[in-house]
């Protein structure tokens, strides 16, 4: 199972992501010590408990799904940092997409549709 949040931008082949070894693979978050759930890969049946065991009490005590994921799968494998990058942390400060990036994660603000006309990311939108 390969999962992408709706607010990610795929900018290169995802074949290596889809074939990455491990029963459950996700991302290390850029701003916290936990995981980021924007891109995940898992073997069918491995992660059923993530949905099945989540209770209203858990939802109320945790900040969000990423805290739940970090708590329930603390030893999850992670994709190489260079493959999945943060717009806020890796792209915007440098004004360019780092070499080797395959996916850009738009956590928080801005989202891709909030960028002004003429921004440097338009070349990726045109290619899509």
CATH architecture of 2-127: Alpha-Beta Complex (3.90)
pLDDT mean across residues, the chain: 88
User: For position 126, what pLDDT does the model report?
Assistant: 60
Banded pLDDT at 30 (limits 50, 70, 90): very high
User: For position 54, what pLDDT does the model report?
Assistant: 85
Q: What is the pTM of this model?
A: 0.85
**Contact partners, residue 36, CB within 8 Å, separation at least 6:** 26, 27, 28, 29, 30, 66, 105, 107
Q: Please list, residue by residue across 25-43, b when 16 or more beta carbons sit within 10 angstroms of its beta carbon and e when fewer do.
A: bbbebbeeebbbbbbbbbe
User: For position 128, what pLDDT does the model report?
Assistant: 54
d(CA 35, CA 45): 20
The structural domains of the chain, with segments of one domain joined by +, span 2-127
Highest mean pLDDT among 11-15, 22-26, 45-49: 11-15
User: For position 72, what pLDDT does the model report?
Assistant: 82
Banded pLDDT at 46 (limits 50, 70, 90): confident
């Amino acid at each position: 199972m390969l999962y992408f949040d709706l607010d990610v931008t795929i900018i290169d082949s995802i074949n290596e992501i889809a074939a990455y070894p491990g029963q459950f693979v996700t991302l290390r978050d850029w701003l916290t010590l936990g995981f980021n759930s924007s891109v995940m890969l898992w073997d069918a049946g491995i992660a059923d408990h993530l949905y099945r065991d989540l209770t209203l009490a858990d939802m109320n005590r945790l900040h969000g799904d990423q805290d739940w994921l970090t708590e329930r799968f603390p030893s999850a494998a992670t994709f190489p940092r260079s493959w999945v990058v943060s717009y806020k942390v890796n792209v915007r400060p440098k004004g360019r997409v780092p070499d080797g990036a395959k996916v850009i994660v738009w956590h928080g603000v801005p989202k891709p549709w909030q960028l002004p006309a003429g921004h440097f990311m338009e070349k990726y939108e045109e290619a899509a």
